[in-house]
Amino acid sequence: MNKIGIIGCGAMGTGIAQVAAMAGHEVFLCDSDHAAWPRALTNLSTNINRLVEKNKISSDAAQDILNRILFTSAMEEMHGVDLVIEAIVENLEVKQSVFQQIEGIVSDSCILASNTSSLSITSIAAACEHPERVIGLHFFNPPPLMQLVEVIPAVQTAPELPAYAMLVMRQWGKYPVLAKDTPGFIVNRIARPFYGEALRIYEEGIADIATIDWAMTELGGFRMGPFELMDFIGHDVNYTVTETVFQAFFYDPRYKPAFSQKRLVEAGYLGRKAGRGFYDYTEGVHRPEPNCDPVLGEQIKKRIVVMLINEAADALHWGIAGAEDIDAAMTKGVNYPKGLLQWAKEWGYSACVDMLDELYDTYREDRYRCSPWLRRRGE
């Protein structure tokens, strides 16, 4: 593998281009919007110069990396590439159309990958004349820093392609995990309760946002609380992923979106980028103080973590990925303090089952059904 083509020079495409160029590849970075180029170049230069300042690479090496990345608006320039990674807008029709265009440009042996977070790889591949060369390569933000890559074969993908893609990702210094082509793959599926259960606790009036964030960071060891994180990601993006996963799971109540977040989107309170989300980011406005009651804090932490554990156990139950990969995905893709299956083991499987059954008894909602995988171990 020599030349790489990347379509879309937004946050993800630019980061992936850096990773590929640092692995020694010549990279063609294509975007239909010229205005995206200067921003991408500034980001790339800043990131690479930071590596020089930290003595991780020499300034000559930095210049070589930048020289290996070629910006273009013409996909035709990608005719000689061996792998294309698409990182454009999250829209199935647009992605399908780009895959059809690129197929007419590259050689028959070129691999076509999508960085989609929530669309089915199978439906993207279905638009292609040679769907067997299509695969999902899901990087995490920011790609140069996050080690995880989910490798997702479509139903049509050639049997030998996933192993080859995993090998290439390892050569790029990444930690690839194999995931089934199901909604949210591994990370975006298992992480849903981090937001969903926090929103539920808040909407029920059990605790306010500052207290929930405090419990998850101070007691849970997460880097950011759910509300800070949703504000950071942006409610338009985070709510859309939840709604997409909910619909894609045939409206399984476990993934049900929350009205409080939907209303924020409707109001345009999209989070940090809008100056307002769950928190108010206006200068001079103080953050609300959490209620640092350790009993309440533990209750919040346990409820959210056990729902995450249940989701991880269920992903294993349905064969979405292997146990080791499920735990690695959450620590290396979204910086969880520990793997959720490991967490279940430490808390004791039967204790986890009891917590879930208690929630189920209280609410009588399918949302709180315990995964068969967990129940079997809890017996």
The least distance separating ligand NAD from the CB of residue 40, rounded to whole angstroms, comes to: 8
- Applying the rule CB under 6 A, the residues between 125 and 164 that interact with ligand NAD are 139-141
150 is catalytic: yes
Amino acid at residue number 364: R
Q: What are the E-state strand segments in the chain?
A: 3-7, 26-30, 69-72, 83-86, 111-114, 134-139, 148-153, 175-178
Judged by CB under 6 A, does residue 236 bind ligand NAD? no
Nearest to 341 by CA among 325, 360, 320: 325
Judged by CB under 6 A, does residue 115 bind ligand NAD? yes
How far, in Å, CA of 208 to CA of 282, rounded? Answer: 20
Catalytic residue among 47, 115, 188, 371: 188
Which of 4, 6, 12, 51 lies at the binding interface for ligand NAD (CB under 6 A)? 12
How far, in Å, CA of 249 to CA of 192, rounded? Answer: 12
117 is catalytic: yes
Q: Name the one range near ligand NAD by CB under 6 A: 28-36, 48-56, 245-253, 299-307.
A: 28-36
Q: Which is nearer to ligand NAD, 100 or 291 (CB)?
A: 100
* Residue with tokens 């979106």, as numbered in its chain: 257
Which of 22, 29, 31, 157 lies at the binding interface for ligand NAD (CB under 6 A)? 31
What tokens were used for 172?
A: 């790029």
Kindly tell me the sign of the dihedral angle through the C-alpha atoms of 252, 154, 241, 373: positive
What tokens were used for 95?
A: 């992605």
Q: Which is nearer to ligand NAD, 30 or 306 (CB)?
A: 30
What tokens were used for 333?
A: 């893709």
* Residue with tokens 């690839």, as numbered in its chain: 176
Which of 82, 90, 132, 293 lies at the binding interface for ligand NAD (CB under 6 A)? 90
Which of 19, 98, 321, 330 lies at the binding interface for ligand NAD (CB under 6 A)? 98
Number of chain residues interacting with ligand NAD (CB under 6 A)? 24
161-171 in b/e form (b: 16+ CB < 10 A) is bbeebbebbee
67 is catalytic: no
The least distance separating ligand NAD from the CB of residue 96, rounded to whole angstroms, comes to: 11
218 is catalytic: no
Q: Which is nearer to ligand NAD, 37 or 249 (CB)?
A: 37
Which of 3, 4, 6, 13 lies at the binding interface for ligand NAD (CB under 6 A)? 13
How far, in Å, CA of 183 to CA of 186, rounded? Answer: 8
Which of 3, 68, 103, 117 lies at the binding interface for ligand NAD (CB under 6 A)? 117
Nearest to 27 by CA among 52, 50, 48: 48
Which of 47, 116, 217, 371 lies at the binding interface for ligand NAD (CB under 6 A)? 116
Q: Which three-class secondary structure state does DSSP give residue 144?
A: coil
* Residue with tokens 């192993």, as numbered in its chain: 163
Judged by CB under 6 A, does residue 244 bind ligand NAD? no
| Nearest residue to the partner ligand NAD, using Cβ | 10
Maximum CA extent, the chain: 64
What are the residue numbers of the active site? 117, 138, 150, 188
Binding site for ligand NAD (CB under 6 A): 7-13, 30-33, 36, 87-90, 94, 98, 115-117, 139-141
